[in-house]
Amino acid sequence: MIEKETAHNAEKSKIASVFMRRLALGMRLQTDPSVVYALGKSYRGYLTRKDLSVNSPYNTYQNKGLPPTPVASVGLTSLRAALHPASGDSLFFVAKKDGTHAFARTYKEHKNNIKKYLK
């Protein structure tokens, strides 16, 4: 999922860190690439709220833990990021228009980032 979440190698260890922290806390990963994979050919190039409810073991918005199998081929940078996640306390991230991500420690910060970067 790290591989599909960002094309920016410098961010991969931060994203891995968020995933590891969420798993350790028993939180759902809530990552879009898992839903894109679950939708398969019905994916239209964007996700809707309805898409986030798709009934699939790959849907990390609905299911805790990791999907049953990888959702993409993994590159070396993503593999290294998973093995050596960045330190930090972020639990959330949102994609910005330039493809990088804004990271947040709290849900309140995350909601502010959503307003700032997605509206």
Domain assignment present for residue 43? The answer is: yes
Domain assignment present for residue 104? The answer is: no
Residue 81 has pLDDT above 80, yes or no: yes
Domain assignment present for residue 6? The answer is: yes
pLDDT attached to residue 74: 93
Residue 14 has pLDDT above 90, yes or no: yes
pLDDT attached to residue 119: 76
- What is the percent of the chain with per-residue pLDDT over 90, rounded to a whole number? 96
Buried b (16+ CB within 10 A) or exposed e, 68-96: eeebeeeeebbeebbeebbeeebbbbbee
Q: Which domain holds residue 81?
A: 2-89
Alpha carbon of 104 to those of 68, 82, 89, 108: distances in Å?
A: 27, 19, 8, 8
Dist. CA 113–CA 76, nearest whole Å = 29
Domain assignment present for residue 111? The answer is: no
pLDDT attached to residue 11: 97
Report pLDDT digits (tens) over 86-96: 999 999 999 99
User: How long, in residues, is the chain?
Assistant: 119
Around Cβ 45, how many Cβ atoms within 10 Å? 5
Report pLDDT digits (tens) over 16-55: 999 999 999 999 999 999 999 999 999 998 999 999 999 9
Domain assignment present for residue 14? The answer is: yes
**pTM for this one?**
0.92
The number of domains in the chain is: 1
Domain assignment present for residue 60? The answer is: yes
